[in-house]
Structure 1
Amino acid sequence: MSRQEAFMRLLGAIRDHLAVAEPGGEIFSVQAAINSLDGEVVTVQLWSQELPALAAALLGWADTLTAVSVILWRVPDGLAVHLDVVGRMVDEAVRVFGGVPYEAEVFGADLHPGQRREIPLGVLRGWAE
C-alpha cells in the first residue's frame, strides 16, 4: 500500500467515525500521520475550553474508542496541560487532545514541565462533573 493510500484510509476512518459515533467536542484540527515512531495515527485537536467541558468532550471520544488511555502532558513552558485520550477506532490508532491552563491544585505540583503521566479514566470523569 502506498503512503497516499494509507493517508486516504486514515482520513476515511476518521470521517466514518465522526459520522457514525458523533463523539462530541468542537474540533480544531485533524492530522493523519505515518512515521517510524508512532506508526499510523490520526490526531484530533479539540478547541481549548474550560476543564469540565474539555473533560466531558474527551469522555465522549473515550466512549467511542477501544483500548483507551488518558495521558496528561504539562507543556515545556509549564503554563498549560494537554489532556490526551488515546485509543483505537476499529483498526486505526487515534489521539484526541485539548489544552487547559496548568493549575497545581488540579493536576498536582509534582507534574513538572515536559512531564507526561497516565491517569485513570475515572479522574477525567471527575473533572467533567
Structure 2
Amino acid sequence: MNSPDVFVRILGSVREHLATRPVAAGIASVAVAVNSIEGEHATVHLHSLELPELAGALLGWADTLTEITASAWRPPPGDRVHLSVSGQLDDGLAVTVYGGVAYVETMFGADLAPGGRHSVALGVLRGWATNGGAVAA
C-alpha cells in the first residue's frame, strides 16, 4: 500500500514544474498513479480545446519535458481522439499530458480505428498548431 506522502510528493513535483515552467493551457485535472507497471506517474488532462490550440498546448508541455513521445488514441465509440505527449519532469517523474478533439478522418486517417493508437511526430503537432489543423497525421 502506498502512503499519502507518496501522492503528496508526486503532486508537489507537478506543482513545482508548473511554478517554474508555466504552460498556457488550462488544466482540467491531475491524476496520480503508483503501481508496479508504470511506477510513479502523473496524468494531466487539459481543458477542451480545438485541434490547433490543443496541438500548441501539447507542444508547450513538450518543451518542458525530456524523453518525449506523442500519440493519438481513438477511444471507443470513435467520435473523439485523445492527443497526448509523455515524458519526464526534471526530477524524473513520468508524466502524460492529454486532451481530446473531434475525430476527423481526413486529419487522423481512416486507419486510426476506435480503440487504436498511433504515434505522432512532433512535426505533425507543429503543423496542426500552425496550420489550423490542415496537416494529416
Report the Cα distance in structure 1 between the residues aligned to 2:75 and 2:127, rounded to whole angstroms.
Answer: 22
Q: Output the amino acid matched with 1:48.
A: S
SS of structure 2 residue aligned to 1:68 = strand
TM-score (norm 1): 0.96
Which digits, 9 at most, give the CA deviation of each residue in 1:89-116, with x for residues without a partner? 0210000000000000000011000001
* Counterpart residue number, 1:74: 74
Residue 44 (structure 2) pairs with residue 41 (structure 1): no
Q: Which runs of 5+ in 2 are unaligned?
A: 131-137
Task: Please show how residues 1-129 of structure 1 align to structure 2 within 5 Å.
Answer: 3-90=3-90, 91-129=92-130
Deviation at 1:23, TM superposition (A): 1.9
Which structure is higher in strand share? 1
Q: Output the amino acid matched with 1:97.
A: Y
Deviation at 1:37, TM superposition (A): 2.5
Q: Output the amino acid matched with 2:107.
A: V
**Alignment length (residue pairs):** 129
TM-score (norm 2): 0.90
Deviation at 1:9, TM superposition (A): 1.4
